[in-house]
Structure 1
Amino acid sequence: MKVAVLGCGRWGSFHAWYARRIGHQVMLWGRPGSQHLTELRQKGRNEYLVLPADVELTDDLAAAVAFAEIVVISISSQRLREFCGQLKNLPQLEQKKFVLCMKGLEIDTGKRLSTIFGEELGTDKQVAVWVGPGHVQDFVREIPNCMVIASKEMQLTKELVKAFGSPLIRFYFGEDLLGTEIGAAAKNVMGLAAGMLDGMGYSSLKGALMARGTRELSRLIEKMGGDKMTVYGLSHLGDYEATLFSPFSHNRCFGEAFIKGEHFAKLAEGVYTVEALMDIARDYHLELPICATVYAIIHEHRDPREELLKLFLRDNKAEQD
């Protein structure tokens, strides 16, 4: 099968590496002038992996999409709408299967990525999301993990699971697209909070953060019309080890660096996602205490120690409230 991967950063290069590893023909696209693409062309590798020599590299978007039966998109979630604007004039899109391999919500609208794709390209029936735990650094060392693919159409989900499943990644069928996307995006916010606790020396509170974080998001997903149990699956709770504890987690590292007053240059999607979540919470008249605390610290410049301690010293309540 022919797979085009659009985006050649950490995860994009991994998806190209993985698709070729399991036997697909692969073309990897990067925008013209991309430093990531230049590095791969010059060295055949980046800081994460060695790219198979027969992965074709291109900066021609039309050629990459025309090449593929399956199009994997792995870019910054905040750039998806603009990027779809570049895609929608390309021919034969209706014949392609699209997979979004990012986690996030659009700032200002709070919309999910599959919703944005549907709005811009006219349909959300040919797009799926691929999320769940795992780090590039572990996969390339042959350490296996479990992930989830979800879409509106179960037939599409099953086709993609069949296409990408292997002994390295066991895929599950996601049955709740809304809950899968919200959970996957929101776990990055929990990663920021975990990093803040690490930065303060309060790492033992991460157990409480996990328990209350899942409860907080289950209420939101239910309010939005999804299945509240989805948050306890691979897209959210299943990804906590990789996000709340791993030294490879960009969001956890950002949160820790923020507390310590250090600069962290790599992309931490949770910084943007928490803005969207607060807008959603207001729309649904729902309290999200952990998300609100992270937002107050990062975007309102509130005192981190005071805000985090206030969060964990809230009034007593029943655990399931």
Structure 2
Amino acid sequence: MKGNRVSVIGAGAFGTALALAFRQAGREVTLWGRDAEAMAALDAGRDLGALFPGASLPTGIRATADLSEAVLAGILVMAVPTQALRQVSEAVALVLPQGRAVISAAKGMEQRTGAFATEILAETLGAHRFGILSGPSFAADIARGLPTAIALAMADATDAEALARFLSSPGLRLYHTTDIRGVEIGGAAKNVLAIAAGIVAGLGLGDSARAAMITRGFAELQRFARAYGARPETLMGLSGLGDLVLTASSPQSRNYALGLALGQGRTPREAIGSGKLAEGAFTAAILAESAKARGLEMPIVDAVTAILEERLSVGDAVRHLMARPLRGE
């Protein structure tokens, strides 16, 4: 791999955690954030307490708000939310030299267009090598160096393997694949299904119901992904089943926490407005719309969408799902 520097665009919890992991891999890291004052303070004081209590930014990571500095690295990891990715990428495009590897760590579909992350990057940045990084991972675990495994997808197999080796650290293990769309769909759909899992938990319906919901939700994820040509092994891997299991079973998941609040009686407006960003809330409607356009049945995704749009109560949604005709599995 040419050079030893990687830039992380986005200094939120996940981007900062990735920067820490890449530094543990021995890389020189530039961490970019849009707030110039905050990034200057971080670079000078090195205190990460607001994100990760007791942690500090190690030597070898440069914090900056200067995009022209950040894009000097040969590898850019775009760790910004899906709904903000286009805006940030358009700014990056103004200063980005040719021949870079640009990898998105966003999970979702653009609400306005239905585009996946690599499609947004291709539209805004032009001719570069694009990839997606996704899998079962919480920022706090990565930041602490706890064992975590995720998938990296690039169009070229040799490129994917080389980048996975370059970015892997003692705590963060990257598995490589060329199934970009399969990895992207897993990351997008599991967020919506995690909201459903949280709703089941919030209603107190029990672990059996939650297990059934996750299983039937995974069937919906597979159905949708196959329509896009995703590979079965991708869906059964880290970025599909693995990420769904994690996200649909832990209150650390923002999407699960949103569903939990909905199940406990909060309105969508209250639940969304009071917590941290849950990508599934933005992805649900476009995922349901895309499925319908392809003639695919995704009743759990439809139910979550109806709840978020306040067209259906949580109780009625559960009753409708339980009243669906019995069928073969």
TM-score, normalised via structure 1 length: 0.92
SS of 2:153 mapped into structure 1: strand
1:304 to 314, 325, 328: 314
Q: Is the 8 A contact 1:132 1:234 kept in 2?
A: yes
Aligned to 1:214: 218
Aligned to 1:200: 203
Q: CA deviation at 1:229?
A: 4.3
Q: CA deviation at 1:87?
A: 1.6
The 2-side partners of 1:138 and 1:158 are apart by 24
Report matched runs for 1:215-230 at 5 Å: 215-230=219-234
Q: Is the 8 A contact 1:70 1:97 kept in 2?
A: yes
CA pair 12-142 structure 1, distance change in 2 beyond 3 A: closer
Q: CA deviation at 1:233?
A: 1.4
CA pair 227-24 structure 1, distance change in 2 beyond 3 A: same
CA pair 104-44 structure 1, distance change in 2 beyond 3 A: same
One-letter amino acid matched to 1:85 = E
Q: CA deviation at 1:91?
A: 4.4
Report matched runs for 1:11-90 at 5 Å: 11-33=14-36, 42=45, 44-45=47-48, 46-48=50-52, 49-66=55-72, 68-90=73-95
Aligned to 1:101: 105
1:272 to 279, 282, 301: 282
Report matched runs for 1:147-166 at 5 Å: 147-166=150-169
1:243 to 247, 257, 273: 247
Q: CA deviation at 1:71?
A: 0.8
The 2-side partners of 1:194 and 1:177 are apart by 26
CA pair 315-175 structure 1, distance change in 2 beyond 3 A: same
Q: CA deviation at 1:203?
A: 3.7
2:98 matches 1:127: no
> Which sits farther off after the overlay, 265-274 or 233-242?
233-242
Q: CA deviation at 1:164?
A: 1.3
- Structure 1 regions of 5+ residues with no counterpart? none
One-letter amino acid matched to 1:269 = E
The 2-side partners of 1:194 and 1:40 are apart by 39
Q: CA deviation at 1:38?
A: 5.1
2:292 matches 1:282: yes
The 2-side partners of 1:37 and 1:73 are apart by 20
The 2-side partners of 1:39 and 1:273 are apart by 32
TM-score, normalised via structure 2 length: 0.90
SS of 2:149 mapped into structure 1: strand
Computed over aligned residues only, the root mean square deviation of the Cα atoms, in angstroms, reads 2.0
Aligned to 1:168: 171
Aligned to 1:185: 188
CA pair 34-193 structure 1, distance change in 2 beyond 3 A: farther
The 1-side partners of 2:96 and 2:104 are apart by 20
Q: Is the 8 A contact 1:9 1:36 kept in 2?
A: no
Q: Is the 8 A contact 1:218 1:229 kept in 2?
A: no
Q: CA deviation at 1:33?
A: 4.9
SS of 1:317 mapped into structure 2: coil
SS of 2:277 mapped into structure 1: coil
For residues 71-123 of structure 1, the C-alpha deviation after alignment (integer angstroms, 9 at most, x for no partner) is 1110111111122211222142x222111111010113211110111112223
The 1-side partners of 2:154 and 2:119 are apart by 11
What percent of counterpart residues are identical? 32
The 2-side partners of 1:20 and 1:63 are apart by 18
Q: CA deviation at 1:303?
A: 0.8
CA pair 188-37 structure 1, distance change in 2 beyond 3 A: farther
The 2-side partners of 1:274 and 1:40 are apart by 37
The 2-side partners of 1:8 and 1:91 are apart by 19
CA pair 299-41 structure 1, distance change in 2 beyond 3 A: farther
CA pair 41-318 structure 1, distance change in 2 beyond 3 A: farther
CA pair 40-270 structure 1, distance change in 2 beyond 3 A: farther
One-letter amino acid matched to 1:127 = F
Aligned to 2:262: 258
Q: CA deviation at 1:208?
A: 0.8
CA pair 283-108 structure 1, distance change in 2 beyond 3 A: farther
Q: Is the 8 A contact 1:214 1:232 kept in 2?
A: no
Q: CA deviation at 1:190?
A: 1.0
